Amino acid sequence: MTEKDDIRERILEAARERFLHYGYGKTTMAEIARDCDMSPGNLYRFFQGKLDLAEEIASRATVETMEELAKAIRAPGKSATQAMRDYLFGKLRMTYTNLEKDPKIIELAHTVSAERPTFSTDMLERERSIMMEIIANGRELGEFATNDVNFTAEMIQSATMKFSYPQLWSRLTLDNLERELSGVFDLVLGGLCPDRTLFVGGERPQTDEDNVQKTG
């Protein structure tokens, strides 16, 4: 890491502490500069404004979450059904916990999304790429029936948007959110697997027809 990179990291860390403690609106560039023992003019050499700092902090947090979830879904031997469940529920639990721990992140997220529309678009595309990977794998394994992986991923993302950043949409408890997500997940699977019902592990449960075949 170069000296310039090191200074940028110190600025970002100072800004993050300020935003999470006082909130985005109550933080000034002068205060961040003072925390870094530099002049405001010097701070502007590294970041053009407070919004640029907020966007970088929010982007890094989202990327870290997505990378952690991606590792989980790629575990050897995991079915696509289980991977999708782990991804959706994992994202809900991680974001819910983070927002409860640092509630001022909500203000930060609202501000960045409103002022930088491309930020939200880029983050949604990143999230959707993981869902596309799961669906494509499920189609190859014969678990999912879909001819358009991109469209299917987009629709599932739309259907589960509430559970990505839950406190932005409601004040439900995590238990209630998981109950709702479980119902949505069952409906999603019904659309992906119209001719069968999958267990979480990706195995089809025994039906009366199967039992008749066995006894016959």
Residue 8 falls in which region: left (phi positive, over 0), alpha (psi -120 to 50) or beta: alpha
Q: Is residue 210 classed as helix, strand or coil in its secondary structure?
A: helix
Q: How many whole angstroms separate alpha carbon 102 and alpha carbon 105?
A: 6
Q: How many whole angstroms separate alpha carbon 107 and alpha carbon 22?
A: 11
Q: How many whole angstroms separate alpha carbon 177 and alpha carbon 209?
A: 36
Contacts of 59 (CB under 8 A, 6+ apart): 119, 122, 123
Task: Name the strand (E) or helix (H) holding 205.
Answer: none
Task: Name the strand (E) or helix (H) holding 46.
Answer: none
Contacts of 42 (CB under 8 A, 6+ apart): 33
The pLDDT value recorded for residue 216 is 45
- What pTM value is reported for the model? 0.80
What parts of the chain have a pLDDT lower than 70?
1, 194-216
pLDDT, tens digit (0-9, with 9 covering 90-100), for 115-162: 988 988 888 999 999 999 999 999 998 899 998 999 999 999 999 999
